[in-house]
Chains A and B, each alone.
Chain A
Amino acid sequence: MSHGVFFFVVILCGAVTFSERGSFLLFQGGKEPHPRLAKALRLVPAAVLPALITPALFMPNGSLDISLSNPRLLAGVVALAIALWKRSVFLTLVSGLTALWVIQWLTA
């Protein structure tokens, strides 16, 4: 795909994203969603975010690695514990990145 075509696709992605953000603000005039749709929508963040997390933890190099020699998996477990305990984006990031650095330094 050429860069020109790619940027056209980016504009389409932007239009889709904007429509999603505006779905109820722009087109529904503040109406409540249909109960069944509301139920599905409430599940969306829980169903989308893990798909963006688990490959980065369990397959950092492209293949499955469930072992103690996978620093990203270990650091991810530390960060998850902190996320559950403190419920803070900042502390989750700091603990996860620090854990990664420490583990990499220890095993280097």
Chain B
Amino acid sequence: MGWGEEERGLFLQGVRAALPLLLGVIPFALICGIASMEAGLPAWQAVGISLVIFAGASQLAVLHLFVIGAPAVVMVLTALVINLRFVMYSASIAPHFRDLPGRWRPLVSYLLTDQAYALSLTRFSEKEGCRNPFAYTLGAGVTIFFVWQAFNALGLLLGAGVPDSWGLDFGVPLTFMALLVPAVQNRPTLVAALVSGVTAVVASGLPYGLNIICAALLGIGAGLLLDTKGEEGTS
């Protein structure tokens, strides 16, 4: 793929668009690094988990499950459910990459974080369109990747050096809150969100953090039920 002026411009546009979002990425990455150290992982594993999974919410969940001694199958299922949202991202962004050669697709897939997805889809929906979606997504995705890995590593070095009283871990639910607001667009999504949020608390007594999986599945079920009913009502 030849990179001309236009591709370089779009790449840099992606980089610049990602910069303000780094303020959400940085604390999240630090927390993941700190959590890996607190879980007692050797340093190479703490770096490895972030490179291999590269999805903070599921990294934290899997670390938590490791600490409480959950079985492997629960860890994999929890990561699968938390990251189900990437299937939605993949489906909605794939049409923009119809012309991208197959050899570049694994890279786009790997870099498809919450932030890279949100930026890319917003950019591609602009009126003037995007002549080379790959260049833009690469710019945003690579920026987030390097900053994420760097601050994850910094979190490892700081380890328990950051006092708990700073409440930096509170940045994680706050990031999800900011991502949740645009995801709630109508009654089915609102009901899915409410059912999920309530279930996660009510079912928190379940062993091995299974409340997350239950909450997500019940939320999807409730949303689908309402969605189908709503359609019958209007047809």
Contact = CB atoms under 8 A, between A and B. Distances in A.
B interface bracket (residues with beta carbon within 8 Å of A): 35 or more
B24 interface: yes
Nearest to A66: B201
Contact of B194 (A44, A45, A50, A92): A50
Interface string B71-104: 0100110011111111111110111011000000
A38 interface: yes
Given A21-B90, A84-B181, A46 B72 contact: no
Contact of A97 (B75, B88, B170, B192): B170
B193 interface: yes
Interface of A: 1, 3, 5-7, 9-14, 16-18, 20-26, 28-33, 38-59, 64, 72, 75-76, 79-80, 83-84, 87-90, 92-94, 96-97, 100-101, 104
A52 B31 CA distance: 15
A24 B91 contact: yes
Q: Which label, helix, strand, loop or mixed, suits the secondary structure of the B interface?
A: helix
Q: Which of A5, A18, A43, A104 has the most CB of B within 10 A?
A: A43
Q: Which label, helix, strand, loop or mixed, suits the secondary structure of the A interface?
A: helix
Contacts of B171: 93, 96-97
21 contacts: A9-B72, A18-B110, A31-B94, A40-B220, A41-B87, A43-B220, A43-B227, A44-B88, A46-B223, A47-B193, A47-B196, A47-B217, A48-B196, A48-B216, A49-B85, A50-B215, A52-B200, A57-B173, A72-B167, A97-B170, A97-B171
